[in-house]
Amino acid sequence: MDLKGKKVIALGDRDGVPGPAIEECLKSAGAELVFVTTECFV
């Protein structure tokens, strides 16, 4: 999937992959992060 220039909402998981880590990956793929959060279900 080409993420360059795409607007992305990233929802991370506390015990999985947290939001900031997703953000770093997607930024490097050229995506624009419009909202990043990490949720906790435990």
Q: Contact positions toward another protein, by CB under 8 A?
A: 13-21, 37-38, 40-42
Distance CA 30, CA 42 (A): 32
- Minimum CB separation from another protein for residue 22, in Å? 10
Indicate the residue among 4 and 41 with the shorter CB distance to another protein.
Answer: 41
Indicate the residue among 1 and 42 with the shorter CB distance to another protein.
Answer: 42
Task: Say how many C-beta atoms besides its own lie within 10 A of residue 33's C-beta.
Answer: 17
Indicate the residue among 2 and 15 with the shorter CB distance to another protein.
Answer: 15
* CB proximity list for 2: less than 8 A, separation 6 or greater: none
